[in-house]
Amino acid sequence: MADKRTEISELGEFGLIRRIKSNFSIKNASTVLGIDDDAAVIEAGDKYLLVSTDMLLEGVHFDLAFTPLKHLGYKAVAVNVSDIAAMNGYPKQLTVSIGVSNRFSVEAVDALYDGIKMACEAYEVDLVGGDTTASVSGLVISVTILGEVDKDKLVKRNSAKKKEIICVTGDLGAAYMGLQVLEREKQVFLENPDMQPQLENYSIIVGRQLKPEARMDIIHELKDKGIVPTSMIDISDGLASDLFHICNQSGVGATLYEDKLPIDEQTYQTAGSFKIDPVTCVMNGGEDYELLFTIKQEDFEKLKNHPDIHFIGYIQVQDKGINLVTKAENVVPLQAQGWDHFHKS
Amino acid sequence: MADKRTEISELGEFGLIRRIKSNFSIKNASTVLGIDDDAAVIEAGDKYLLVSTDMLLEGVHFDLAFTPLKHLGYKAVAVNVSDIAAMNGYPKQLTVSIGVSNRFSVEAVDALYDGIKMACEAYEVDLVGGDTTASVSGLVISVTILGEVDKDKLVKRNSAKKKEIICVTGDLGAAYMGLQVLEREKQVFLENPDMQPQLENYSIIVGRQLKPEARMDIIHELKDKGIVPTSMIDISDGLASDLFHICNQSGVGATLYEDKLPIDEQTYQTAGSFKIDPVTCVMNGGEDYELLFTIKQEDFEKLKNHPDIHFIGYIQVQDKGINLVTKAENVVPLQAQGWDHFHKS
């Protein structure tokens, strides 16, 4: 046994998480929900406390060749706020730990924290702690966020039911196409340093990649309309992967309609010029940080005229599987090929 | 301004933290205490929630040449529990994020989490979340811990007062000397791979370096005896540096006595063989994870026979400074030269 070596890529990220989770059990009465959702849920008086964490590593999650540090700081906070939004909660506090090598100056650290501060103000979150350390390799950022939610307003992934309507906010696939553009311009620059990056026609999708927003606006609006989604997740790994999480944890299937998928015109055009199917960007691109949620049919009336909420399908019984009805009316089973950093390429 | 480059080593870790902190303010009513202490303090019904976080980077905080992964996992949890203990609190939940390169196998990740699990059981903490990601450089571990404390039992750093007695648990300097031994044996091995490491005479100090314990036993005992320290911190950077935190934040001075400093015989002997002053190990070594706290004089009777609590000095008015009375009865001002990863060597 001591000699056995299993590659992490054989398990993938989700397999590794399942393996870790299976060895741990919950013992404290105050722990309501552990590793199963966008955030953990903890008893805190008359509310629930929400906790989520994300780690961003240089060379894996971001490339400083085209990522301004201020944007990176903003994004590191926004993606954590998005996890709190996905529980129908409100972000309150966060901790930020950074590892920086001596190639970073104090001014570079200032730029990173300028972005963190801007996001803290936008999302009304307090920076309450963290750790700063030297790094012998790249930049490391680890953020943990705390939020709160009324106990009767908590929304989990595992509670979608048959006939409910599947909703998604904003548009999808843009952040992925933004990344393709940035990586192409980086290659052009590396081959010919006199070339200036051509980004003016890609401002929307590049912005979605570099400075995503958490959809707290939607959480506030749902509250104002008296709607509690029946299940919710934020789209970080791609629509397919994140819909699979809802369906698998809820024990249901789903049917999506290609012609209902919200794709921005710039995403669509750019995908075409890269010869990438825009539906692939939507399904497997990731980093959208839009909200995917289900509502009861009776709540449809209250949301049907919302300009930024799209009704892309409905929940089925599990036996029906998870399918996409294409524009040509073919029924195609979805694959959950979300982004996996451990995947062998 | 855009061209100005200030090296982080010019500020040091504490200078960098002060600079970051000065740009942020607290806005949410639920935030009781931010960056000033071992843990942040947050309103949570009839108790306070405590939050602390630590990041451990390969090549900076640990060397896998002599650190078993299981020990490393245990230590990553223990050092965070120690921060909750330092607030007189009880750890409840934690999140663990890891970045691992493809030189790590699934079995290596298992070993790391075996240690994390062992510590979760020892300290009665639930693993409730985290992040797993690929790393293109070394192993990265980021732990955030949540704890709780009764509102009237919270102990901060800024509340020590004149004439109070300065207490420390266990013994100091051992972890630092353990690290010196491990680094020496690594050098011997690198020069002659046939040599086996000679560690049998150093089991106590090597153990203190590789597998430190948080002093939750003391927190339970203080509760049983009805004692609430007037201020407290855990010793992670060395006695001098951590006493400076208490004194500076409390606006007081202190007098310590060299002959009262608790130093284990093995630490003392090994320091001698390395030609290092044992008092330097105690003052500036760090990683002891013992508790440094102050008590009112009237509580001394209740603790005076405790085998593992040592009374090393007393709190003075600020004008008197922070001094060590040596065995030769010289009064030496202390320097806060704690461990600083950003320090130029």
pLDDT at A82: 97
> Do A97 and B55 make contact, defined as CB atoms within 8 angstroms?
yes
User: Is A113's CB within 8 Å of B146's CB?
Assistant: no
Output the domain CATH number for residue B22.
3.30.1330.10
Enumerate the residues of chain A whose CB falls inside 8 A of the CB of residue B4.
107
SS3 B253: strand
CB-count exposure of residue B48 (10 Å: 0-12, 13-18, 19+): buried
pLDDT of res. B260:
96
Domain ranges, residue A144:
8-153
Q: What is the pLDDT of residues A260-279, one digit of tens each?
A: 999 999 999 999 999 999 99
Q: B328 - beta bridge partners? A: none
Q: What is the pLDDT of residue A188?
A: 85
pLDDT at B343: 53
**A26-48: buried (b, 16+ CB within 10 Å) or exposed (e) per residue?**
bebebbbbbbebbbbbbbbeebb
Q: B7 and A138 in contact by Cβ < 8 A?
A: no
State which H helix or E strand residue B69 sits in.
helix B69-85
pLDDT digits (tens, 9 = 90+) for A44-81: 989 999 999 999 999 999 999 889 999 999 999 999 99
Residues B321 and B232 in one domain: yes
From B145's Cα to the closest Cα of chain A, the distance in A is 10
CA distance A230 to chain B (A): 22
Same domain, A192 and A315: yes
Number of A–B residue contacts, CB under 8 Å? 261
Specify the pLDDT at position A139.
94
Does B3 map to a domain? no
Residues B139 and B230 in one domain: no
The tens place of each residue's pLDDT in chain B, 345 residues long, gives 456 889 988 888 888 888 888 889 999 999 999 887 889 999 998 999 999 999 999 999 999 988 999 999 999 999 999 999 999 999 999 999 999 988 899 999 999 999 999 999 999 999 999 989 988 878 999 999 999 999 999 999 999 999 999 999 999 999 999 999 999 988 888 888 777 777 888 999 999 999 999 999 999 999 999 999 999 999 999 999 999 999 999 999 999 999 999 999 999 999 999 999 999 999 999 999 999 999 999 999 999 999 999 999 999 999 999 999 999 999 999 876 654 555 543
CA A29 to centroid of chain Cα atoms: 29
Test B24 with A127 for CB contact under 8 angstroms: yes
Residue A1: pLDDT over 60? no
CB B153 within 8 A of CB B225: no
Does A235 fall in a domain? yes
* Cross-chain Cβ contact B33/A128 below 8 Å: yes
Are residues A14 and A140 both part of a single domain?
Answer: yes
Q: Which residues of chain A lie closer than 8 angstroms to B135, CB-CB?
A: 57, 60
The pLDDT value recorded for residue A151 is 97
Contact by Cβ (8 Å): B243, B256: yes
The arithmetic mean of pLDDT across residues A92-112, rounded, is: 93
Residue B51, strand partner residues:
B40, B146
C-alpha triplet B309, B314, B315: angle, nearest 5°: 125
Q: Of B153, B178, B193, which residue constitutes the final position of a domain?
A: B153
Residue A143 and residue A292 share a domain: no
Domain boundary residue among A153, A173, A197?
A153
pLDDT more than 90, % of chain A: 78
Q: How confident is the model at residue A342 (pLDDT cuts 50, 70, 90)?
A: low
Expressed in angstroms, the distance from the first to the final Cα of chain B is 28
In a domain, A297, yes or no: yes
pLDDT at residue A345 tops 50 = no
Q: Which of A39, A46, A134 sits opposite B342 (nearest CB)?
A: A134
- Does a structural domain hold residue A227? yes
For A221-235, write each residue's pLDDT tens digit.
999 999 999 999 999
Beta strands B322-325 and B252-257, pairing class? parallel
Does ipTM top 0.85? Answer: yes
Which string of DSSP letters, residue by residue, matches A51-88?
EEEEEEEBTTTB-TTT--HHHHHHHHHHHHHHHHHTTT
Q: Is residue A344 very low, low, confident or very high in pLDDT (cuts 50, 70, 90)? A: very low
The last residue of a domain, from among B133, B153, B173: B153
Please tell me the pTM assigned to this model: 0.92
What whole-number distance in Å separates Cα of residue A69 and Cα of residue A81? 19
The predicted model gives A149-175 an average pLDDT of: 97
Structure tokens at B299: 């509580």
Q: Please tell me the number of Cα atoms within 13 Å of A25 on its side-chain side.
A: 2
User: CATH code at B276?
Assistant: 3.90.650.10
pLDDT of residue B342: 55
Q: List the structure tokens of A92.
A: 């309150």
* In a shared domain, residues A231 and A97: no
Per-residue pLDDT, averaged over A9-20, amounts to 86
B309, B180: one domain: yes
What is the arithmetic mean of pLDDT over A13-35?
88
**Are residues A148 and A175 part of one domain?**
no
Nearest to B142 among A31, A142, A146 (CB): A142
Ranking A110-119, A303-312, A331-340, B122-131 by mean pLDDT, the lowest is A331-340
Rounded to 5 degrees, what are φ and ψ at B180? Answer: -60, -40
Bigger pLDDT: A255 vs A65: A255
Point out the residue among B52, B113, B126 whose CB comes nearest to the CB of A23. B113
Q: What is the largest CA-CA distance in chain B?
A: 62
Q: In A, which residues are within 8 Å of B28 by CB distance?
A: 92-93, 124-126
Q: Is residue A159 part of a domain?
A: no
Q: Which residues pair with B105 in a beta bridge?
A: A7
* B285: phi then psi, degrees, rounded to nearest 5: -70, -60
- The string of pLDDT tens digits covering residues B105-155 is 999 999 999 999 999 999 999 999 998 998 887 899 999 999 999 999 999
Instruction: Give domain status of residue A248, yes or no.
Output: yes
* Nearest CA-CA distance, residue B120 and chain A, Å: 9
Choose from A6, A55, A96 for mutation: most chain B CBs within 10 A: A55
Specify whether A118 is located in the same domain as A224: no
Q: Domain tally for chain A?
A: 2
Report yes or no on A82 lying in a domain.
yes
Q: Answer whether A106 sits within 8 Å of B11, measured CB to CB.
A: yes
Q: What DSSP designation does A327 have?
A: T
**Rounded Cα gap, residues B161 and B92, in angstroms:** 31
Q: Are residues B172 and B123 in the same domain?
A: no
Same domain, A230 and A81: no
- Considering only the beta carbons, identify the residue of B42, B61, B113 that sits closest to A146: B42
Top pLDDT among A115 and B342 is at: A115
Same domain for A261 and A193, yes or no, is: yes
On the CB side of B107, CA atoms within 13 Å amount to: 6
**Cβ contact B8–A104 (<8 Å):** yes
In a domain, A342, yes or no: no
Q: How far is CA A79 from CA A177, B96, B314, in A?
A: 18, 17, 47
Compute the distance between CA of residue A154 and CA of residue B139 in angstroms, rounded to an integer: 35
